[in-house]
Amino acid sequence: MSGDVAVVGTGMHPWGKWGKNFVGYGLTAAREALAEAGLSWRDVQYVAGADTIRNGYPGFIAGATFAQALGWSGARVSSSYAACASGAQAIANARAQILAGLADVALVVGADAAPKGFFAPVGGDRPDDPDWLRFRLLGATNPLYFALAARRRMALYGSTPEDFALVKVKNARHGAANPNARYRKETTVAEVLESPVVASPLHLMDICATSDGGAALVLTSVEFARSRGLARPVRIAGLSTVTPTFPKTVIDLPDFATDAAMTVPEPARPFRAALAYAAYEEAGIGPSDVSVAEVYDLSTALELDWMEDIGLCAPGEAESLLRAGETTIGGRIPVNPSGGLASFGEAVPAQAIAQICELTRQLRHRSGPRQVPSPNTAIAVNQGLFGHGSATLLTH
C-alpha cells in the first residue's frame, strides 16, 4: 500500500451566523463531499468527527452525531477535540485507519455553531483548568494573546500596524471571490487602522471573528482512488501533529508563563516551525517545494509569524514578501488564497478541514477567480490549545 492517502471529495457549508444547529452544517458539507467523490454514505467505512465544545453532548461526540444523522451504517467512528486543531486530528485519525488497512473510504466532518463575539470560557467553575484561570484571574481573552504575539513581532523585527493591516487587505481581496467566505468585501489599510483597537496594537479588523460553518473530506487509499479512475488524485503526503519540545520559550494560549531555559537548551525549532518541518521530513520535501499555503491567521500579525515558521522566508522577512505582492494570488507563494480566517471567521472544528478543502481545490484547478497558477504542492498549518497543532502537506 502507498504511504499516501487520497483526497477524493471536499464539501463546505458557507460560513456565517446562521442561527441553526451545527449538525445541519456538517451534513451539508458531508453530502457535498460524498457527491464530489461519486460515493454514497454506505461506501464509508470510517467516520472521523471533529468536536465542538459549545453545542452540548452531540458536539462532544461529533463523529457519532454525524454518523447517526446520516443513518447508522455500522461504520467505525471516532471523535476528536484539539481546539483549533480538532479538524486536523480528525484527518490524522482517518488517515491512520486507511494506512493501517482498516478502511478504504473515510469521511471527515467538522462543524460549529459559535456564540456571538469573542470566545468566553466554557461554563462552570474549574479552578484547576488553566484555560478557565486565564480568563478569571488575568482577564486574558484570546485577543490579548494575539496582541502579545504582535508586540513581540514589533519588538523583534520592527513590524508596524500598517504591515498588519496589509495582511487584512490581501486576505479580504482573496475572500471577496470566495462563495463560502463570511466576509466578502475588500478593504483598505485606512479602514483597518480606523477600526476600534481591541488589544493594542491590534484593531478589530486585525482579529478573526467567530462563525458558524461546516467542512468535510472524503479520504481513500490511493489504490481505491485509482480503481475509481483517479489516476493522479490529490494526496496527503505528510501530516504532523507533534507537541512542543521542552523548554517552550514563547507564550501561547492559554499559558501564564513560558518554560525556564536556564538548564536545558532551547530546541532547534520552536513549536510552530517544528510542526511544519516534521511534515516536510515525512513527505521528503522542503519549503522551497511549496506552491501555496493556508495558515492560521487568528490575527493579521500571526499570519506573518506563520510564513516564517513554515520556511517561506527567514525570520523578519515576511513583511517584505507581503509588501512585494509575493503572497497574493499571482505572486510567488500565495498565502491564504481562501481569504483565511480574516474572511471566514473561526468555526473551530471545521477550520482545519476547510483549509484542506481549499488546497485540494487549488491543486485540482477548481478555484475559479482565486486560482493559484500551476500549484503542485500545498501546506496547511494551524495551532490549537495545550500543545496541539498540525501541518498537512498535499501534492498532486
Concatenated DSSP letters of 230-277: -SS-EEEEEEE-PPP-SS--S--TT-SSPPP-SSSPPPSS-HHHHHHH
CA distances 261 to 104, 217, 335, 339, Å, are: 46, 41, 33, 38
pTM of the predicted protein model? 0.97
Paired with 346 in beta bridges are 210
pLDDT tens, position by position, 254-313: 998 899 888 899 999 999 999 999 999 999 999 999 999 999 999 999 999 999 999 999
Buried-state track 317-354, b at ≥16 Cβ within 10 A, e below 16 = ebbebbeeebbbbebebbbbbbbbbbbbbbbbbbbbbb
Of 16, 4, 222, 11, residue with least CA distance to 109: 11
Q: How confident is the model at residue 1 (pLDDT cuts 50, 70, 90)?
A: very low
Does position 119 have pLDDT exceeding 90, yes or no?
A: no
CATH 1.20.1250.20 fits 5-117+210-227, yes or no: no
Q: Which amino acid is at 3?
A: G
Given a contact cutoff of 8 angstroms between Cβ atoms, the answer to whether 73 and 67 are in contact is yes
**Nearest-angstrom CA–CA distance, 295 and 204:** 19
pLDDT at 2: 56
